[in-house]
Structure 1
Amino acid sequence: MYTIYFDGHCPLCRHEIGMLRRLDRHNRLRCVDIHGPDNDSGLPANVLLVDLHVRDGDGHFLRGASAVRDMYRRVGLGWLVAMTELPGLRQLFDMAYTRFAARRRCNKGLCATGGQHADRVL
């Protein structure tokens, strides 16, 4: 099963997951709040808080902007994703995602990311 690990304390993240669930007409996505009891990622919370993580059916993880692109493809929005992969736009989108993830607002101010980058752990 394809699993999206998202920050349930982030209102924008919850909104986006709600939209993805509505678009997932074939129930292919499993959406897991990293703060909840269903978090079976095996990754430390401080790693999951840095950016979005998804795990495919083979157990491989994608994170950050690559994860966003992949999950939108899975709900039929590949045409939208394709625009973020054009030369020059890919780097811009990746930088924008990284900046957003580091500065996103949560229920009580800025989200705590733990200051650790996930690519050091995976």
Structure 2
Amino acid sequence: MKVIRWILGRVILLLNALFSPKSVKRSELEQKEIDDAVAQIHLYQFDACPFCVKVRRAAKRLNLPLATRDAKQAQWEQELINGGGHRKVPCLRIEGNNGEVEWMYESNDIISYLEKRFA
């Protein structure tokens, strides 16, 4: 089963690389504002997870320099469990201006949030 999962993961990564979406074009000022806002957001993910790939593709389409954290690394895994409560990916960590942190699971919810906030 592990071998099948590994092979499928590599196929997903290959297809993602071959059919990468085009990014939205913005002016330098608009992109800088987006970059500053995105600096407070982190995506906890696994490289070959299809739902994580879906979120990363949406971020690329929106031209968001979304910081990713590999939840297989002990440091990020523990942070995900302590903060979000689950070892489940994808998970978006959103830090507000007031210091409050929101943990958002489910790829469709994450994509919807990113599109509403940054589209």
- Bigger helix share: 2
TM-score range, shorter chain: 0.3 to 0.5
TM-score (norm 1): 0.41
Structure possessing the higher radius of gyration over alpha carbons: 2
Query: Taking CA–CA contacts closer than 8 Å with sequence separation of 6 or more, which of the two structures ends up with the larger relative contact order?
Result: 1
